């Protein structure tokens, strides 16, 4: 399979008094289309920073990220945002739903921004698929944490992204609810054939991915492919 994500000598440093603190140091790897990749490591190892750089939400100090062959940081901010809109979906630990929009409107939002005339029909179908077909008019404050994350999953997958970035998607959920959300995430990912890049501290979740890369103090410590069952 062709590489949909290519990372070359990616480095991120920030000012730290009179010096600079290096958060990521010359990270290089590639992700094939349709692959699921877990990014693991101790707190502060650079996992979420790496995910933000892969998605173009933050800029590196050096190095290169290519998404579907396009040099992400060779683009200006507007062009990067447009590329994300075409290629990527996102699921965050804190759900990131718009509080003034109901469930249906939250899922419709990226579809409408993409100019989809069928936004409402697609959003309704996506919410029904995650078990929330009867909660369309509910606002986030009236939904449980698990329900909010189901809305976020519907919103992420509805536009048909080629890449899904997920940052600790069960971090704000209890164990049982989190397990059901992860099951749903992998089910949807398999149905859509999406490339999944998942930041997690949970070894069991990481073990469900095709591949696992481990960060330690900002460096790539391990790159392992799951053994065939």
Average pLDDT over the chain, rounded to an integer = 93
pLDDT digits (tens, 9 = 90+) for 34-62: 999 999 999 889 999 999 999 999 999 99
pLDDT for the residue numbered 228? 52
- The average pLDDT across 17-31 equals 92
- The average pLDDT across 202-213 equals 93
Provide the pLDDT confidence category of residue 132 given band limits of 50, 70 and 90.
Answer: very high
pLDDT digits (tens, 9 = 90+) for 91-121: 988 889 999 999 999 999 999 998 999 999 9
Determine the structural domain holding residue 112 and report its residue range.
3-225
pLDDT for the residue numbered 93? 87
Residue 172 has pLDDT above 90, yes or no: no
pLDDT digits (tens, 9 = 90+) for 145-169: 999 999 999 999 999 999 999 999 9
pLDDT for the residue numbered 31? 95
- DSSP characters over 210-225: SEEEEEETTEEEEEEE
C-alpha 56/C-alpha 72 separation (Å) is: 7
CATH number at 23 reads 3.40.50.300
- Name 195's Cβ contacts closer than 8 Å, sequence gap at least 6: 4, 5, 31, 32, 33, 34, 35, 36, 37, 162, 163, 164
- Cβ contact 199:51 at 8 Å: yes
Residue 1 has pLDDT above 70, yes or no: no
Angle, nearest 10°, between helix axes 175-192 and 145-157? 10
- The average pLDDT across 114-132 equals 95
The count of structural domains within the chain is 1
Residue 229 has pLDDT above 80, yes or no: no
- Name 12's Cβ contacts closer than 8 Å, sequence gap at least 6: 22, 23, 24, 46, 49, 53, 58, 60, 61, 218
- The average pLDDT across 135-141 equals 96
Please work out, in degrees rounded to the nearest 5, the angle formed at the alpha carbon of residue 10 by the alpha carbons of 8 and 16: 165
């Amino acid at each position: 399979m062709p590489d949909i994500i290519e990372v070359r000598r990616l480095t991120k440093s920030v000012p730290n008094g009179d010096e600079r603190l290096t958060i990521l140091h010359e990270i290089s790897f590639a992700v094939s289309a349709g692959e699921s990749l877990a990014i693991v490591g101790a707190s502060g190892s650079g996992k979420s920073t790496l995910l933000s750089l892969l998605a173009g939400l933050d800029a590196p100090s050096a190095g290169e990220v290519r998404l579907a062959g396009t040099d992400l940081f060779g683009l200006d901010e507007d062009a990067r945002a447009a590329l994300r809109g075409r290629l990527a979906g996102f699921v965050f630990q804190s759900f990131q739903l718009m509080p003034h929009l109901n469930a249906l409107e939250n899922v419709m939002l990226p579809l409408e921004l993409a100019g989809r005339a069928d936004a409402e029909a697609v959003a309704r179908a996506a919410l029904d698929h995650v078990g929330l077909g009867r909660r369309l008019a509910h606002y986030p404050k009236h939904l449980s944490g698990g329900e909010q994350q189901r809305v976020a999953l519907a919103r992420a997958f509805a536009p048909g992204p080629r890449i899904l970035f997920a940052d600790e998607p069960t971090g704000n959920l209890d164990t049982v609810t989190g397990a059901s959300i992860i099951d749903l995430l992998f089910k949807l990912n398999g149905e859509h054939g999406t490339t999944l890049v998942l930041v997690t501290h949970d070894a069991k979740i990481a073990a469900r991915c095709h591949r696992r890369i481990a960060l330690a103090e900002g460096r790539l410590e391990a790159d392992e492919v799951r053994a065939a069952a």
